[in-house]
Chain A
Amino acid sequence: MEQKETKGFFRGLLNKLTGVEAADERLTPVETTSETLTPEQPAPSPPPAATSATVEKPSFFERLKSGLRKTKDGLVGRIDALVLGKKEIDADTLEELEEILITSDIGVKTTVELIRTLEQKMGRNELKDGEALRAALKEEILSRLIAQHRPLDINSRKLFVMLVIGVNGVGKTTTIGKLASRFTADGKKVLLAAADTFRAAAAEQLEAWGHRSGVDVIRHKEGADPSAVVFDACKAAVARNVDILIVDTAGRLHTKVNLMEEMKKIRRVISREIPEAPHETLLVVDAATGQNALSQARLFKEAAGVTGLALTKLDGTAKGGIVVAVSHEFALPVRYIGVGESIDDLRDFDPQEFTDALFQA
Chain B
Amino acid sequence: MTEDNVKDALREVRLALLEADVNFKVVKDFIENVRLKAVGTEVLTSLSPGQQIVRIVHDELVAIMGGGEDNSLDLAAKPPVAIMMVGLQGAGKTTTCGKLGNLLKKQKRRPLLVPADVYRPAAIEQLKTVGRQLGLEVFNSTADQKPVDICNSALRFAELNGYDVVIMDTAGRHQIDDFLMDELAEIKNTVQPREILFVADAMTGQEAVNVAGGFNDRLDISGVVLTKLDGDAKGGAALSIKAVIGKPVKFVGLGEKLDALEVFHADRLVSRILGMGDVLTLVEKAQAVFDEKETALLQSKMKKNQFDLEDFLAQMQQIKKMGSMESIMGMIPGMGKMMKQMKGAQPSENEIKRIEAIIRSMTPGERANHSIINGSRRLRISKGSGTSVQEVNQLLKRFTEAQKMIKQLQKLGPKGLMKGLGGLGKGMMPFG
Contacts and interface: CB of A to CB of B under 8 A. Distances in A.
Contacts of B285: 17
A295 to B, nearest CB: 6
B176 A316 contact: yes
A99 interface: yes
Interface string A207-241: 11100000000000010000000000000000000
B195 interface: no
Contacts of A18: 281
Contacts of B201: 169, 286, 288
B125 A42 contact: yes
Interface string B256-290: 11001000000000000001001101100100000
A135 interface: no
Contacts of A104: 206
A246 B94 CA distance: 26
B122 interface: yes
Interface in A181-210: 198-202, 204-205, 207-209
Given A45-B121, A209-B121, A341-B119, A200 B130 contact: yes
Contacts of A296: 203
Nearest to A99: B24
A285 B81 CA distance: 37
Most chain B CB within a 10 A radius of its CB, from A52, A254, A313: A52
Interface string A1-31: 0000011011101100110001001101011
Given A168-B256, A169-B91, A169-B92, A318 B207 contact: yes
B145 to A, nearest CB: 11
B231 A103 contact: no
Interface string B86-123: 00111110100000000000000000000000111111
B132 A201 contact: no
B364 interface: no
A319 B174 CA distance: 13
A248 interface: no
Nearest to A35: B132
Contacts of B120: 48, 205, 341
B179 A56 contact: yes
B295 interface: no
Interface string A303-346: 00000000001011111011000000000000000000100000
Nearest to B21: A290
Given A10-B278, A167-B231, A51 B119 contact: yes
9 contacts: A25-B257, A33-B132, A42-B124, A103-B206, A108-B18, A169-B201, A171-B90, A316-B176, A317-B176
Given A14-B278, A18-B281, A318-B205, 10 more contacts: A42-B125, A45-B119, A103-B27, A108-B18, A169-B89, A199-B126, A286-B90, A288-B88, A295-B232, A316-B207
